[in-house]
Each structure stands twice: as structure tokens, then as C-alpha cells.
A and B are shown apart, each in its own frame.
Chain A
Amino acid sequence: MSIEEIFPKLVGSDYRRTSEPDEKYNCIAWAAGRDDEWWDVGPGYRWPDDIPRHWAVENLLKLYESLGFVRCASEAREDGFEKVAVYGDGYMWTHAARQLDNGKWTSKLGALEDIEHESLEALSGAEYGSVVQVLKRPTTCHSE
């Protein structure tokens, strides 16, 4: 099944593949700038000790806050800030995307490839739900 079949809103949208499939990392780590670990609440996966290992959206927001992000209202690019968008399906987080310098977004699709996509809406739908929160941090802040 192609990614356009999984995410039908990609069809006709401005997006491009930017990596080969790679099982080493997921979107949660990738949104924080890591491409060597799978960050998840599941036992045995990388997750901060002081944040509950539970799939609620709130816990993923706490993870990004622990990395210096703060919640914000707009997905529009702001000079001096990098942004992360968290997708959720009701109470559960499903995906995260990171904004690039050009204002577009980069997403790691599970164990599949990375893509660069123009809009956050392009990945919304049955699989990832929709964006539930955007966060930002100064581009000089990269502590993990």
C-alpha cells in the first residue's frame, strides 16, 4: 500500500520523500531532531522517567515541553523559533511533525520514509487524526 493510499490528502499536495524507510526512529524522536531512537511510552522504548508512560496526548506534550518547547496557537513560521505539531486521535497521540526553515514540515511515517510536506492537513485523516497542539522553542534551544 502506498503512502498516498494511507494518507489520501497527500494526493495532489506539495510533498516529497526525503529518506528511505528506516525502522530505527519514529516521528516522535524525529520531531525532536533525533534519527537514532524510537521514542514511545511502550515498555523498553525511550521515554523520560518523569513523564507517565501512557499514550494520552498530554504526556507527549509534556515530553516536548521537557525539551524546551512551549504550547502556542499558530502553526505559521516564526523567525527564531522551531515548531512541532502533535497529531491526535481523540485522547491518544498518533504523530508529530517538525517545521523546517522553509516553513514546510517534515514527518517520519512510522517505520516508513521521511517526507517534507507543505501543510499539516496533508497527513490528517483516519490514520493520524488531526493536529491537536502546536509547540515552539527558540532555535538556539536544542537540549534533550
Chain B
Amino acid sequence: MSTEIMTRDRATTRWVHPLDGATALSEALVPGDDRARRSPTPSASLESRFMACAEAWKRDTRHMSSITKITSHPAYQEIIEMGEVVIPLILRELAKKPDHWFLALREISGHDPVPKRSQGRLRDMTESWLAWGRKQGYTS
């Protein structure tokens, strides 16, 4: 059940930890981007792959407290690799139950809609991301 901590950076092929790039990503965020977009539609096979990864990730990390370890799980990293097309699927999972999808959404979208007052409050963080998804046109 131990998971690899390091992942390969797609752009540079360097091995990096997903949280080590957090500061740089934060600086690159574009707050308030409210451009509506048509939600990309994942294929049935991609959705099936996503669900398999999501189930494996949840099963293997429920006892973990460190977000670093939780989000380093290979299945979670595979979901991030799937890219923007799985954002609606992640938001659908999040709507069912608050869970640690926030880093994946941030990594894929380059956004972070969670206000400081909501940090660490999973239900509030979830609501922030769901509202963002509706505003961006990923969900209705």
C-alpha cells in the first residue's frame, strides 16, 4: 500500500513531488476567470478508467492523513494525467461526497477558487470547487 512520492513532470521530464510546485502554480493562477465553456465529454472507456483509478485511490488512502501521501498515489497521478476532460467526472465525485480532489482540480485547471477562510474545511472547499465548475461550464 505504500505509494511513490515522486512523479515525472510532463513538461520537463524532471521527477518532482506534486506539492513542490505549489508555489509556482499559485503565482500563475488567474483568479476570477469566468469565461463559460462547453464541458468536454469523456468517452465511456475513459470514464471507466477514471472510476477504476478513483476506487483504487480511495481504497488505498483512506487511512492516510498526509495530503502529500494521499495525492502521490499512482492512481491519483494517473487521473491528473488524464487532463481537462475528466474535470466533470471529478466534480461529479466531489458532488457525491467531499474528498481530496482539490489538488487534482488545481493541477489540471490551474485555478484555485478556495478562499482562505475555507481552507481545511472540506465541505466549504467542496462548495467552492463545485461553484467554480458551474461557473466554468463543466457542470450545470
Contacts and interface: CB of A to CB of B under 8 A. Distances in A.
Given A55-B66, A93-B66, A94-B65, A45 B119 contact: yes
Given A43-B103, A44-B102, A53 B22 contact: yes
Interface in A27-47: 27-29, 36-47
A61 to B, nearest CB: 15
B61 A45 contact: no
Contacts of B99: 23, 111
A109 B63 contact: yes
Contact of A41 (B64, B67, B102, B123): B67
Interface string B60-98: 011111111111000000000000000000000000011
A127 interface: yes
B112 A44 contact: yes
A46 B19 contact: no
Interface residues of A, number: 38
B11 interface: no
Given A23-B122, A40-B120, A44-B106, A28 B65 contact: yes
Interface residues of B, number: 34
A29 B62 CA distance: 16
Interface string A79-120: 000000000000011111000000000001111100000000
Given A42-B19, A43-B22, A112-B62, A55 B122 contact: no
B120 A126 contact: no
Contacts of A29: 120
Contact of A38 (B62, B71, B122): B122
A90 to B, nearest CB: 10
Interface of B: 1-2, 5, 19, 22-23, 25-26, 59, 61-71, 97-99, 102-103, 106, 112, 114, 119-123, 125
A55 B65 contact: no
A41 B66 CA distance: 8
Q: Chain B CB within 10 Å — which of A7, A23, A96 has the most?
A: A23
B112 A43 contact: yes
Contacts of A93: 66
B66 A40 contact: yes
9 contacts: A6-B63, A24-B121, A42-B103, A44-B114, A45-B67, A46-B121, A55-B68, A108-B65, A126-B2
B120 A39 contact: yes
Nearest to A26: B65
Given A23-B98, A127-B63, A92 B68 contact: yes
A24 B121 CA distance: 7
Contact of A110 (B25, B61, B71, B125): B61
